[in-house]
Amino acid sequence: MNSRKIKDGIINIFIWAAAAFSVGILIAIVYFIFSNGLPLISSRFITAQYNASTNIIHMTSEQTFLQPSGQDIFSENLGIGLEQDDDGFWVNYVDTNSPGRRAINNADEIVPVEVGQLLQAVTGADGQLRVDANTSPEDVVAALNSSPDITLRLNEQGGGVWPLIVTTLLLILTTLLVAAPIGILAAIYMVEYAKPGKVVNTIRFATEILAGIPSIVYGLFGFLVFVNTLHIGQSILAGALTLMILLLPTMIRTTEEALKTVPMSYREASYGLGANKIQTISKVVLPSAIPGITVGVILAIGRIVGESAALLMTLGTFARLPVNMSTGNLSLREAGTTLTVRAYVEVNESGNVEMAAAIGIVILVIVFALNIISKLISRKFSKANY
């Protein structure tokens, strides 16, 4: 009896020690990230471009804009508002119809005026006005309103992660839009249509094998097939298609297990009421399995955000907004980089641990927010508790 108590006590000690170790590691990681990265977090860090740049852009104004309330420095000619500080005049408002949103540079590329840019010079009917912190607001506004044709020199300070956030969110959305339907439909076939046997067992075995393949192999496949063979080039689309293949095993397995948890009595009751198979699956089985499917989506989001090796080959490392220069619109055919890839590049190339940690904080916030949204959607559409 005493021997059994001793064994039980030793097992309990190991259990508590393992739990304490896991929690301690998690706390240590979070503390390291926040202690190193939190000093860099600010509104400008979130909204600014990553690389510093200076753009000379031209625009033509064809209307007069009303000054918004609370906007002290405003150009009625361009619909652009400014704020002044010790560094100069910063763009803090751009009207929806402002010609600044369709401004072009000397290469006839659309380079829109954006919030957070520093105004350095204005060229209008009265010549060029160089703008700095000592320039009076009246002179700046007069120069902006001096002519229908205006040329601006704007400086983007850089050091922000806005392009990385946009690229990461676009990659998540595109990958899920492709991977989720395919994975869910494949799982429905496995559970609802396929007869148990060698074929199903072979498919499940292959799925498990695919789940264990290193992501660098998927990256090589995506680079050879999507980037080179199909001539998509390094882009969000190529990265999403590569991650779709990488995520399919996880999506299929988690959805398959979720469908298996739906009691057979639900299906029999549906058939008894006269519903066919498609109606039963869409109206009864899938709504009841949504909580389990949501787990697969959450795991997929975490995998997408945390992936780096496959994206280095298919998406690239360009820390800029994925904007088509000829249209000025976001495009899935443009290269870019995600938050995780950029954090890796920062540490690998310059040893900038603080910047990588700050990016890590943004990643944690995005993943946390997306997980909450996924759970809210799951609760809204789930019928498991009805």
Asked if 73 contacts 183 with a C-beta cutoff of 8 angstroms, the reply is no
Please report which confidence band the pLDDT of residue 58 belongs to, taking 50, 70 and 90 as the band edges.
very high
Q: CATH code at 370?
A: 1.10.3720.10
Same domain, residue pair 188 and 61: no
pLDDT at 200: 79
Same domain, residue pair 27 and 134: no
How confident is the model over 180-202, as pLDDT tens digits?
999 999 999 988 888 877 877 88
Asked if 183 contacts 247 with a C-beta cutoff of 8 angstroms, the reply is yes
Domain assignment of residue 48, yes or no:
no
Same domain, residue pair 123 and 252: no
Please report which confidence band the pLDDT of residue 132 belongs to, taking 50, 70 and 90 as the band edges.
very high
**What does the angle CA 66 – CA 105 – CA 59 come to, to the nearest 5 degrees?**
25
Neighbouring residues of 126: CB distance < 8 A, sequence distance ≥ 6: 142, 143, 146
How confident is the model over 123-131, as a mean pLDDT?
Answer: 89
How confident is the model over 137-158, as a mean pLDDT?
Answer: 91
Residue 303 has pLDDT above 60, yes or no: yes
How confident is the model over 322-328, as a mean pLDDT?
Answer: 79
Could you tell me the residue range of the domain that residue 189 belongs to?
162-383
Q: CATH code at 110?
A: 2.30.42.10
pLDDT at 382: 63
How confident is the model over 203-235, as pLDDT tens digits?
888 888 887 888 899 999 999 999 999 999 999
Domain assignment of residue 283, yes or no:
yes
Determine what percent of the chain falls in helix, strand and coil, rounding each to the nearest 5: 60, 10, 30
How confident is the model over 312-327, as a mean pLDDT?
Answer: 85
Same domain, residue pair 62 and 133: yes
Asked if 197 contacts 213 with a C-beta cutoff of 8 angstroms, the reply is no
pLDDT at 140: 94
Q: What percent of the chain has pLDDT over 90?
A: 46
Domain assignment of residue 47, yes or no:
no
How confident is the model over 298-308, as a mean pLDDT?
Answer: 88
Domain assignment of residue 325, yes or no:
yes
Domain assignment of residue 45, yes or no:
no
Same domain, residue pair 31 and 138: no
d(CA 345, CA 58): 35
Please report which confidence band the pLDDT of residue 386 belongs to, taking 50, 70 and 90 as the band edges.
very low
